[in-house]
Structures are given as C-alpha cells and as structure tokens.
Chains A and B, each alone.
Chain A
Amino acid sequence: QVQLQESGPGLVKPSQTLSLTCTVSGGSISSGGYYWSWIRQHPGKGLEWIGYIYYSGSTYYNPSLKSRVTISVDTSKNQFSLKLSSVTAADTAVYYCARDGGAGGWGQGTLVTVSS
C-alpha cells in the first residue's frame, strides 16, 4: 500500500516561496498510471485541489492558483514537490500530498503558516 509523507518548512514569510516535498513509499512514481496531487485545507475550512503531476512531468493546476504554482517530480528519489510563490497569510493551510486526487491515498498533512 502506497504511503505518502510531506516535508518542508512550517513557517514561510510573506512574499516568499512555499516549498514542500512529498516522499512516496510502497510504490514507484515512475511506474505510471497515477496522478500525484497537492491539496490544501485552510484552518477550519474545506479542501482545495492545487494541482497534479504525472510521472512524465505533465502537470495540471487549479486555475485560481496557476500563476503561482509549480509542481515537479523527481522519479530517482520517488518524490514530487510543490512550489507556491508570492505567498500571503491567505496561503496558511494544511498541505496534503495525495495520489489520484486522494482516492489513492493521502499524506498526513503539514501545516504551513505564512507570517513575518
């Protein structure tokens, strides 16, 4: 069974870039067939899909975040990553990595706070 684990700074300053990595175990990203997603949840709020990447590097992003989001994959490390630029307090959230939008499993989530 695939397992996912987010890692990265828990505190980011406004206007800087948020960077997170998801390490996948129990399955290989390069085997294909799955889409690797980032999803976030603002405190006390609902779920928001950020975007996903396929092992080939093809990406699809939420139009509302597209201008600030980059998702990349490193198949040699079995990891995929999220970069969100020009962050504000509104980007404070729990960030989850997931397979197939969540249907294939979730990481435990990591809280990222944007504050000076």
Chain B
Amino acid sequence: DIQMTQSPSSLSASVGDRVTITCQASQDISNYLNWYQQKPGKAPKLLIYDASNLETGVPSRFSGSGSGTDFTFTISSLQPEDIATYYCQQYDNHSYTFGQGTKLEIK
C-alpha cells in the first residue's frame, strides 16, 4: 500500500499570508496526486490535479508542485473563505490514498 504523510495537521495563519502544506508518498507516484478542499458538512472539492494543474474555476492563488514522492500545496495569499481542511490524494497502482488532512484556521 502507498502511504501519504501530510503535514502539518493544523495550521493557523493570517489573511494575506502565504500558506504551504506538504505531502510525502511512501513510494514514487510520479505526478499522480490531487489536492482537495473540504468545508464542514460538504463533500471535498478538487482544487489541483496531476500535482500541479489548477482545476477549472479554482482561484489562481491555489497552486501545487512536486513529483515522485514529495509534493507541496500553496495558497499564495490566504483569504477568509479558504478556511477548510485540505487533503492530498494519490492515485496509483489501482488504489487511492488520502493524506491525514490539514485543518486551516485564521489567526
């Protein structure tokens, strides 16, 4: 099984801050990585696919990078509506695995 280690588990930042979340895979997954945003009571929403591609309609302040085992998700300027939990997800070898999630709060 491919394991995903996401950090930090929680993060407090101010509006306008640059926020970074990392995800590490237990083995090489190429660029088979998605990033999701989940708000309370809602299904997750895809933000980034294939590690670095912005989903249609998602604000450009969201970005992703990385390949192989190490990946980064960035919000360039935190907005109040970005308060949510963020998950990475790998899709390789006929399976999907999510990271543990990062709960983002406003300082």
Beyond A47-B44, A52-B96, A62-B95, 7 additional contacts (C-beta under 8 Å) are A46-B101, A47-B98, A60-B95, A98-B43, A101-B91, A101-B96, A109-B43
Please tell me if the beta carbons of B1 and A107 are within 8 angstroms of each other in the complex: no
How many A-B pairs have beta carbons closer than 8 Å: the answer is 45
Question: Assuming A102-B46, A106-B44, is B101 touching A37 (CB within 8 A)?
Answer: no
* A88-B36 Cα distance, complex, nearest whole Å: 29
Digitize B91-105: 1 where CB-to-A-CB distance is under 8 Å, 0 elsewhere.
100111111110000
* Most central of B43, B91, B95, B100 by chain A CB within 10 Å: B43
Q: Is the interface of B mostly helix, strand, loop or mixed?
A: strand
Q: Considering the chains assembled together, what is the distance between the CA atoms of A102 and B101 in angstroms?
A: 15
Tell whether, in the assembled complex, residue A47 and residue B87 are in contact, meaning their CB atoms are under 8 Å apart.
yes
Separation of A60 and B93 alpha carbons in the complex (Å):
10
B49 at the interface (CB under 8 A from A): yes
Is the CB–CB distance between A63 and B1 below 8 Å?
Answer: yes
Query: Are A102 and B36 CB-contacts (below 8 A) given A49-B95, A108-B43?
Result: yes
